Copies of this chain bind each other. A is one copy, B any other.
């Protein structure tokens, strides 16, 4: 028997840029990014816009056209921007993906063209997946428009769509060519959208950076009052921690460890059983609350720290109890707990769940006790919906 050994490294680099008014004529950020790769020729660019963003910014398409004509030496539009549905539905229905592949074919988008996606996390995930698989990968620029996508999902290397009722069942790891966080888009978010992204910042602060956690706590009232400076600071530090983490040991998650999924095993399931009525960030807040209480129940963190965290979510006006937490399977088990196995299956290998040993330090465990999960759900119910008719 003979063996030929293959062994190589692939280098990935991209910037997460913070700006205001990316399509203002004198803002050369996007122009500069597009001019880097195809020196001396004009890049073909296809824009894809989240329907909700287009409605909130009715002149956006016109601004893009004007920007393109100003910098026509560097790039040109492959076609008018394509509008796609916002929210999780764009990941649930494969026809949206097909529409994008059709466009790639129709407009002759190639591996040296760019697809620029403007929208919330769901749109970025779907468009990123289309870009990753068409022609085995078209250069992709993300312009996230929500708090959640600017500080978390949009700055990373993953994309995906849903299948079989499971989040991100299909997807790839495909680093973008660039990410542009434009604060102008944050102004038009509704309060729920503004709030929900904060839970991912709390998540990463809890497992990695107690100073950041305490700064979020200090700024809680400003964040509720929609203070843009406080939000910008939160987004920057959260994005920075995410980028650092991804660039660290295991960018494409070959191993079993997934610390950034703290609070997510239950969050994914809650999103699904509420038919995505619950936003991702809202589900993550409940997921974190559950795992924080669990960490307390097994003696990993103190009651004071647990209360401190729950108190922050309350200050930020998150709902930490929803009736679906009590939903049961025909065999009487909590539906929620099925999420634990689905989470293991999606990650693969051994179940690896992040808990807290104190604020700022995550610790991974490989089992969760079902009785204690039920007890944690009970605590949430007691605290946040004490007069509910059903109990766990």
Contacts and interface: CB of A to CB of B under 8 A. Distances in A.
A164 B111 contact: no
A172 B133 contact: yes
A122 B123 CA distance: 32
Contacts of A172: 132-133, 136-137, 172
A163 interface: yes
Copies of this polypeptide in the complex: 2
Contacts of A247: 6-8
Nearest to A168: B136
A258 to B, nearest CB: 10
A236 interface: yes
Nearest to A43: B349
Given A1-B18, A105-B163, A110-B346, A173 B136 contact: yes
Interface string A248-276: 10011100100000000000000000000
Interface string A4-33: 111111111111111100000000010000
B2 A18 contact: yes
Interface residues of A, number: 67
A160 B172 CA distance: 14
Given A3-B16, A6-B16, A136 B112 contact: no
A247 B247 CA distance: 22
B137 A252 contact: yes
Contacts of A8: 11-12, 246-248, 251
Contact of A112 (B2, B16, B132, B348): B348
A75 to B, nearest CB: 14
A337 interface: no
A248 B16 CA distance: 29
Contacts of A135: 169, 345-346, 348
Nearest to A236: B2
B246 A6 contact: yes
A4 B133 contact: no
B6 A110 contact: no
Contacts of A168: 136
A240 interface: yes
A68 interface: no
Nearest to A38: B349
Contacts of A108: 345
Contact of A239 (B4, B14, B164, B347): B4
B19 A4 contact: no
A170 interface: yes
A171 interface: yes
A344 B15 contact: no
Interface string A125-143: 0000000111111100000
Interface string A95-133: 000000100010010111100000000000000000011
Nearest to A18: B2
Nearest to A14: B6
A158 interface: yes
Contact of A6 (B101, B133, B243): B243
A237 to B, nearest CB: 10
Please name the 5 residue pairs, one residue from A and one from B, whose CB atoms are nearest each other, closest first.
Answer: A111-B348, A110-B348, A112-B349, A112-B348, A4-B16
11 contacts: A5-B16, A7-B11, A8-B11, A10-B12, A101-B169, A101-B170, A105-B163, A105-B164, A111-B349, A112-B349, A133-B170
Interface of A: 1-19, 29, 38, 41, 101, 105, 108, 110-113, 132-138, 155, 158, 160, 163-164, 166, 168-173, 175, 236, 239-240, 243, 246-248, 251-253, 256, 344-350
Given A3-B15, A137-B173, 4 more contacts: A1-B19, A6-B13, A110-B344, A137-B252
